[in-house]
Amino acid sequence: MSGFVTARQKMVDGQVRPSDVTDIRIIDAMLAVPREAFVPENKRALAYLDLDLDVSEGGGAKRFLIKPAVLAKMLQAAEIKQTDRVLVVGCASGYAAAVIAQFAGQVTATESEPGLAAKARDILSRNGCGNVAVGTGAAAGGDSANAPFDVIVVNGATEIVPEQLYAQLRNGGRLVGVFAISSPARATIVTRSHGDFGNRALFDAAAPVLPGLERLPAFVF
C-alpha cells in the first residue's frame, strides 16, 4: 500500500469517521479521491492532515481545501442524491467537487481565481471526473446561468448572508457552508421551501472566508 493510500485511510479512520460521518458514499468517495493530487507538489506531505490547506496560486488570493471532517459532515447534512445537480462555490483546486462527483449526478463548480479554476479543470479531468464543469466567477454570484440547483456547497466560510446563492436553490434545495456572520462560526444548512428559507446550525466550525463573502468594513465616524 502506497504512502498516500495509507494516509488517506488514516484520514478517514482518524478524522472523518470519528466526526459521526456514517454515509458510506461519502466515506468511499474520500477513500477513492487522491487528495494529494489537488495540492501543490511541495505540500503533498500535508494533504491528509486535519487542517485548511492553502492551495493558492502565486500572487492570487489565498484559497484553501477546507478540513476533511468539516467537508464530510456538511456533505452528509446536505443529503445529496444521485439525481441532484450540485453547485460547489469557491472550489479552489477542485477537491470538494471531485468528492461530490462520486455520488451526485452533475456537479458545477465556480472559482474566482482564473488560474486556479483552470488548474481544477485539469486535475478533475485527469482524475476521471467527467461529470464536473468548472467556471470562473465570484463566490457571491454563484452560477445563475445554470441555476436552479438541488444543493449548493460553500467550500469555505461566509461572513454575509449569501442571498444570491439562496436564489439559485430550487424548491426543496439545500445550501451548506460555514456561516461566520456571528461568533462562534457554525456549519449551517439552509433549506428553500416555496420561496422561504429556513436555516439550522449543524456544528461549530472554522474555515477560511471565501473572497467575495467577507463582511463589509463598518463605517467609522
pLDDT of residue 156: 97
pLDDT of residue 216: 76
pLDDT of residue 195: 82
pLDDT of residue 219: 53
Using 50 as the pLDDT threshold, list the residues of the chain that sit under it: 1
Tell me how crowded residue 84 is: count the other CB atoms within 10 A of its CB. Answer: 20
71/74 Cα distance (integer angstroms): 5
Backbone angles phi, psi at 165, to 5 degrees: -70, -40
Are residues 78 and 174 in contact, defined by beta-carbon separation less than 8 angstroms? yes
178/155 Cα distance (integer angstroms): 8
pTM of the model: 0.95
Q: Name all domains of the chain by residue range, CATH numbers in brackets.
A: 3-204 (3.40.50.150)
Instruction: Look at residues 194, 137, 195, 150 and name the one whose alpha carbon lies nearest to residue 176.
Output: 150
pLDDT of residue 194: 87
Q: E strands within the chain? A: 53-54, 64-65, 85-89, 106-111, 132-136, 149-158, 169-179, 186-193, 196-204
Q: Can you read off the three cell numbers belonging to residue 157? A: 466560510
